[in-house]
């Protein structure tokens, strides 16, 4: 299969890239930092030398970068089988006290990136009559919580996008899955004092996404909700 993964240089995105590469799929990946995404592609090709992994630095909060990445991936890959909209950013805060512009910044990164990239790739998927889109939402899209602020708003919006997309694409045999991870041990938790064994590994999320993409055309997992065994932090 041919896979596009955004925000693929670390955390969940990198784990998803590793999971798909491990099964011999072709990957087109992006992240904001050129050195980081280049290193990710190199590491994957070293680990799985039989796999084709191509990378591009792109800030998907910028519309022009979305369009540039979409055109590059389509020109090289042709038909895309799986799109994983993982690019995102977390800024804690409350609606009343967070800095001016926080909502706009998080909507651009967490919602508009997925919206515009998906729209750019949909004609090809619709033409082929197949495809699977994964939007990495959050448990913050399911329930408000302290210090969620605009981050939670942006993730609620991404879930709404996913639900509408699912309904629109049913007739075209294109699947849409919203993924809601709870606490996942990534670089953002380093130095926090939280025991890594208390929260999930990024690979846990990646394996569920991979499994959901391998179902028959007659079945779709509409939402994946995952939390640490001991509950949210």
113-133 tens-digit pLDDT: 999 999 999 999 999 999 999
- Cα–Cα distance, 141 to 206 (Å, whole number): 19
Residue 34, sorted as left (phi over 0), alpha (psi -120 to 50) or beta, turns out to be alpha
Q: Rounded to two decimals, what is the model's pTM?
A: 0.96
**Residue 145: which pLDDT band, with cuts at 50, 70 and 90?**
confident
3 pairs with which residues across the strands? 27, 82
Does residue 47 form part of some domain? yes
Does residue 126 form part of some domain? yes
Chain-centre distance for alpha carbon 64: 19
Q: Which of 20, 48, 112, 151 is catalytic?
A: 151
151-186 tens-digit pLDDT: 999 999 999 999 999 999 999 999 999 999 999 988
- In terms of residue numbers, what domain contains 48? 2-226
Structural domain count, the chain = 1
Does residue 233 form part of some domain? no
Does residue 65 form part of some domain? yes
78-114 tens-digit pLDDT: 999 999 999 999 999 999 999 999 999 999 999 999 9
> Is 213 in contact with 192 (CB distance < 8 Å)?
no
Does residue 104 form part of some domain? yes
Does residue 232 form part of some domain? no
Please confirm, yes or no, whether 185 is among the known catalytic residues.
Answer: no
The closest alpha carbon to 134, from 95, 96, 80, 62, belongs to 80
* CATH number, position 108: 3.40.50.720
Does residue 30 form part of some domain? yes
Does residue 231 form part of some domain? no
Query: In the predicted model, is pLDDT for residue 233 greater than 90?
Result: no
């Amino acid at each position: 299969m041919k896979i596009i993964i955004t925000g693929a240089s670390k955390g969940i995105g990198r784990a998803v890239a590793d999971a798909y590469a491990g099964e011999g799929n072709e990957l087109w990946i992006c992240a904001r930092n050129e050195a980081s995404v280049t290193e990710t592609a190199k590491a994957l090709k070293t680990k799985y030398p039989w796999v084709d992994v191509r990378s591009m630095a792109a800030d998907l909060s910028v519309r022009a970068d979305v369009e540039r990445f979409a055109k590059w991936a389509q020109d090289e890959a042709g038909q895309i089988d799986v799109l994983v909209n993982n690019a995102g950013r977390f800024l804690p805060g409350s609606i009343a006290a967070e800095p001016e512009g926080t909502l706009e910044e998080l909507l651009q990164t967490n919602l508009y990136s997925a919206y515009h990239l998906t729209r750019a790739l949909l004609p090809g998927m619709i033409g082929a009559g197949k495809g699977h889109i994964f939007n990495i939402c959050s448990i913050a899209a399911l329930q408000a919580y302290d210090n969620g602020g605009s981050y939670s708003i942006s993730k609620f919006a991404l879930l709404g996008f996913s639900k509408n997309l699912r309904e629109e694409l049913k007739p075209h045999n294109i699947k849409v899955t919203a993924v809601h991870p709870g606490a996942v041990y990534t670089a953002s938790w380093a130095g926090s004092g939280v025991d890594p064994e208390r929260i999930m590994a990024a690979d846990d999320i990646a394996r569920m996404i991979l499994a959901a993409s391998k179902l028959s055309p007659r079945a779709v997992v509409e939402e994946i909700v995952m939390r640490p065994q001991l509950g949210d932090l």
